[in-house]
Amino acid sequence: MTSNLASSYPADAVITATIPVAVADVLSPSQCKTFLQCTARWYFKYVEQLPDVCTGNLALGRAVHAAVAQHFRYRQTNGRIPPIAEMLETYGDAIRRELATAELRDDEDAGELAAIGARCVEAYLTQAAPAITPALVEHLVAGEIGGVRVRGYVDLMDVEGRIIDLKTASKKPASITADYKLQLAMYVMTTPGATSARLDTITKQKTSQWVPQSYTLDDGERRYVETLLPILQDGMKDGRYWPSRDHNLCSRKYCPFWRACEQEFGGQVKA
């Protein structure tokens, strides 16, 4: 599949590389998602291992995750719900650390990002967290799917066996996208005791909103993942990669490797 696609590009528009033996031996959900979005981006990150520069919005997401994870770890240890004020302090420390090394885009303001993230944390801890009893928090899972070894970190699993993955977004999602379905499926298939999954989105708006979306791994979804992962692994090891310049995430705002992409392939990545 990858070879046929690559052959449709001019010879000088495709990276041909000798791939280290260990690359793509074990796949993660984020690795699969990156490859599906853009094979060149995957190459720059996982083969060349170029610095994955953190943007302001990525810093916000990481800090929100840190505060929410600390909330649930506290509950596991102490058996009670911690004060929101303490978790907002945790968030404040995290966002300052993240922003200290972030590369802010032209439309990103550090103070505004910090305030938005605080609203996200407060919204999730008041709207969603009270009804969740945590069993696993930021837990490493590993297994084999379709003959491919996989590993990843589960944000949260509750005592009912439901995987809960958390993300922030600029607006309310209409549905679970295909790449997130793949991620949730991989988590359910590799986490002992997992029965289902839910994607929790916190909107980064003036009034932050928690948007839960349930996901059930049926036989068709399971077969899709078992079929797809070996294909992705073969594509990663194929040694030919090219940019997906028409993808909605191909921009200087969303891709930390746009400079390397322009240098390697020519042309311009959109602002």
Residue 244: both structure tokens together: 């997906």
Q: What's the pLDDT score for residue 4?
A: 35
- In eight-state DSSP terms, residue 209 is -
Q: What's the pLDDT score for residue 18?
A: 62
pLDDT digits (tens, 9 = 90+) for 211-251: 999 999 999 999 999 999 999 999 999 889 999 999 988 99
Is-contact 249 37, C-beta < 8 A?
yes
Q: What's the pLDDT score for residue 15?
A: 63
CA dihedral 166, 169, 173, 175 (to 10 degrees): -50
What pairing do the DSSP bridges indicate for beta strands 162-169 and 26-27?
A: unpaired
User: What's the start-to-end Cα distance of the chain, in Å?
Assistant: 30
Lowest average pLDDT, out of 47-56, 181-190, 198-207, goes to 47-56
Token pair 């392939």: residue: 265
What is the rounded average pLDDT of the residues 29-34?
95
> pTM to 2 decimals?
0.88
Is-contact 188 217, C-beta < 8 A?
yes
pLDDT digits (tens, 9 = 90+) for 140-170: 999 999 999 999 999 999 999 999 999 999 9
Q: What's the pLDDT score for residue 106?
A: 84
